[in-house]
Amino acid sequence: MTDEELQELIESVSKETFGKPFLHIARFNKRLRTTGGRYLLSNHSIEINPLVLDMHGTEELVGVIKHELCHYHLHIEGRGYRHRDADFRILLKHTSSPRFCRPLTEEKQRVQPKHVYECTSCKLLYKRKRRMDVRKYRCGKCAGQIEEIQAVK
């Protein structure tokens, strides 16, 4: 999808959902990392993350567009356009717009601990990625001695 097609899509969603025209610029912005889109207060333009379309499809893209149009129309009308404002939340519900975008980054897998230590007194386990000097540290719960019980190579 090109910026021109995005512009047309946003204009049609604005007319259909809000009954009001979108009169400013819409474009894709590859530099957006974690957010699906943003509304710029300074020039009233809307920027959309192209990953929304690539990862989640057109339906999610339309949801992000509706969300940004809620900001846009409320700001133009001089009403509460911020996420915390009642006007914004009411308009989100009225237009069936999503409050948040689905995640655009893949979740990182947790690294398994390579070293497991145990307190000799209270048996509390300490799981660590890096090796620790058991002569230097004591148990945080009972101040007992710590010993290594498992080292995965």
Q: Report the CATH number that the domain containing residue 47 is assigned in CATH.
A: 3.30.2010.10
Structure confidence by residue, pLDDT tens digits, 73-117: 999 999 999 999 999 999 999 999 999 888 887 766 777 888 999
Burial of 7 (0-12, 13-18, 19+ CB in 10 A): middle
Which residues constitute the domain of residue 25? 3-94
First to last CA, the chain: 48
- In terms of pLDDT, which residue wins out, 100 or 6? 6
- pTM score above 0.75: no
* Residue 89 maps to a domain: yes
Domain count, the chain: 2
62 and 119 housed in the same domain: no
Q: Same domain for 72 and 147?
A: no
List, for residues 14-49, the tens digit of each pLDDT value.
Answer: 999 999 999 999 999 999 988 999 999 999 999 999
More confident residue, 123 or 111: 123
Does some domain include residue 71?
Answer: yes
Q: Is the pLDDT of residue 147 over 70?
A: yes
The residues carrying an active-site annotation are 68
- DSSP strand E in the chain: where? 26-28, 37-39, 46-48, 115-119, 125-128, 146-151
